[in-house]
């Protein structure tokens, strides 16, 4: 009995192995047929919309970044997809068009690119933009060597943007030329400012009021304190003879407090400059200002004349401090 059982078991085992081998062979043939006709691919989708098929999802994103980087002349700091694609492994007919370029192009439209660039500023005003920190440092160092001025502030600012146009930069030589020109202009402006400050500081001053302008050019015919048969007292101002109608300029900023006919002064303009300082312009033929007008140093306020107690065309100039006359030649038309 045991012998018969063993014999049957051996027979069934042999038959099973034969069936199993046949099954494996058949399965292998089926797989081979499938692989001949189909290939495994990843279906790429975004928000449920199919973009196409690719063989390798990791390689796809690397290709995307490489293509964007290679096609751009700008410095790219970061490339990120606005929405991550979905990948689904599928068997696709080998005759199916699975061009990855189409998928890459579609993904480009779903990509945010962050650009990096460097601004070059002169006196805190941006002049140029370059791509790299090395370019920026090279440019700044060369300009500093060529322009020995400690008063010029050259700075570099690292900037980021997702606006491609904003990241547009200049060729290094072009950028250097523009920055150099701006630096030279800044140096000239500083020198002019120094000259202006020196000139301003050298101006005569009364109670902190700078007398910036000489009213007219002419010949002094009567000085402050002089006596004359046509006056009851000594001269309270300075007479400068000039051609009838010559423009009279105000000596400093101020406010017109009077512009009217005033007895022996004739047509008289009075200007208050603050700090108790007033200037008076007498014997004018015409007055171009009125009471309340604000004037700046150098503004034309009247014309030379011979009105009032006068023997010929001239300007009678008075300077008063807190109501008291002072000698104009201590400040203007110096002896």
pLDDT at 308: 95
∠ CA(213), CA(216), CA(218), 5° rounding? 135
pLDDT at 147: 84
pLDDT at 150: 81
CA distance 104 to 74: 20
pLDDT at 17: 63
pLDDT tens-digit map of 288-311? 999 999 999 999 999 999 999 998
Q: Which segments of the chain belong to CATH 2.70.70.10?
A: 209-330
Considering only residues 162 and 12, tell me which one the structure prediction assigns the higher pLDDT: 162
Mean pLDDT in residue range 18-46? 68
pLDDT tens-digit map of 59-75? 888 888 888 888 888 88
Four-way CATH pick for 209-330: 3.40.50.170, 1.10.1200.10, 2.70.70.10, 3.30.70.3270: 2.70.70.10
Percent of the chain whose pLDDT exceeds 90: 56
Token pair 């290094």 is at which residue? 172
pLDDT at 69: 82
Q: Are 118 and 134 in contact (CB under 8 A)?
A: no
CA distance 15 to 22: 11
Percent of the chain whose pLDDT exceeds 70: 85
Q: Residue 182, class by beta-carbon neighbours within 10 Å (0-12 exposed, 13-18 middle, 19+ buried)?
A: buried
CA distance 329 to 333: 5
Kindly report the pTM of this predicted structure: 0.62
Mean pLDDT lowest among 33-37, 148-152, 282-286: 33-37
pLDDT tens-digit map of 261-276? 999 999 999 999 999 9
Confidence at 33, pLDDT banded by 50, 70, 90: low
Tokens found for residue 149: 């001025």
Mean pLDDT in residue range 214-232? 84
Q: Are 249 and 300 in contact (CB under 8 A)?
A: yes
Mean pLDDT lowest among 140-149, 237-246, 269-278: 140-149
Q: Are 285 and 307 in contact (CB under 8 A)?
A: yes
Q: 154 pLDDT exceeds 60?
A: yes
């Amino acid at each position: 009995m045991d012998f018969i059982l063993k014999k049957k078991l051996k027979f069934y085992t042999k038959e099973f192995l034969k069936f199993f081998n046949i099954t494996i062979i058949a399965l292998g043939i089926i797989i081979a047929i499938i692989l001949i006709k189909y290939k495994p691919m990843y279906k790429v989708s975004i928000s449920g919309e199919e973009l196409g098929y690719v063989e390798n999802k990791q390689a796809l994103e690397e290709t995307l970044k490489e293509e964007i980087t290679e096609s751009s002349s700008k410095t790219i700091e970061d490339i990120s997809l606005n929405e991550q694609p979905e990948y689904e492994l599928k068997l696709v007919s080998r005759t199916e068009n699975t061009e990855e370029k189409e998928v890459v192009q579609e993904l480009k439209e779903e990509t945010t690119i962050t650009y990096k660039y460097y601004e070059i500023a002169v006196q805190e005003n941006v002049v140029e933009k370059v791509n790299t920190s090395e370019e920026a440092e090279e440019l700044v160092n060369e300009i500093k060597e060529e322009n020995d001025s400690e008063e010029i502030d050259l700075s570099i600012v690292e900037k980021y943007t997702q606006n491609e146009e904003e990241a547009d930069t200049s060729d290094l030589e072009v950028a250097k030329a523009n920055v150099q020109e701006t630096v030279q202009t800044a140096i000239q402006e500083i020198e002019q400012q120094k000259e202006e400050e020196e000139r301003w500081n050298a101006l005569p001053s009364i109670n902190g009021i700078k007398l910036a302008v000489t009213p007219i050019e002419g010949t002094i015919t009567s000085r402050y304190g002089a006596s004359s048969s046509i006056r009851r007292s000594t001269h309270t101002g300075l007479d400068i003879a000039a051609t009838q109608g010559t423009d009279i300029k105000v000596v400093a900023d101020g406010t017109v407090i009077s512009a009217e006919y005033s007895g022996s002064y004739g047509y008289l303009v009075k200007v208050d400059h603050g700090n108790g300082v007033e200037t008076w312009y007498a014997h004018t033929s015409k007055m171009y200002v009125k009471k309340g007008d604000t004037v700046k140093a150098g503004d034309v306020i009247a014309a030379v004349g011979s009105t009032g107690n006068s023997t010929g065309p001239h300007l009678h100039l008075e300077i008063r401090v807190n109501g008291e006359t002072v000698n104009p030649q201590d400040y203007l038309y110096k002896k």
